[in-house]
Amino acid sequence: MIVSLDALQGADSLGTSAALTEKELNKTDTIDMMDMIEDLYETVTLRVCGTLDITYQGTEIHMGEWTRMTMAEAVKEYVGIDFMNISDDAEAVLAAKKAGM
């Protein structure tokens, strides 16, 4: 279902404003999507495997625990590049090449 930002910026039953900025709405949508995907993986894993603890390519994974982070945080943690301190595309390309990407 698609709901416009305008439709969500009405008054509640008490007549108070429930206005959300587009940024707040996007954050809510993102959190809701993360919740939904986490629940999906947990449900499917339990139904298919009978447990939340699985082995994938020799690695033990618990499918009921999730670390939430931004893409920039993930790149910094797993690749070692801090894109939040990169100022332009050329610098980003150079950093990626140095990281072997």
Beta-carbon contacts of 24 under 8 Å, excluding residues fewer than 6 positions away, are: none
Please tell me the predicted confidence (pLDDT) of residue 65: 85
Instruction: Give the predicted TM-score (pTM) of the model.
Output: 0.53
Low-confidence ranges of the chain (pLDDT < 50): 1-17
Distance CA 18, CA 33 (A): 21
Residue 3 · residue 26 · CB < 8 Å: no
Distance CA 1, CA 37 (A): 17
Distance CA 20, CA 33 (A): 18
Please tell me the predicted confidence (pLDDT) of residue 46: 95
Domain ranges, ordered by start, for the chain = 1-65, 69-101
Torsion from C-alpha of 42, 2, 24, 79, nearest 10 degrees: 50
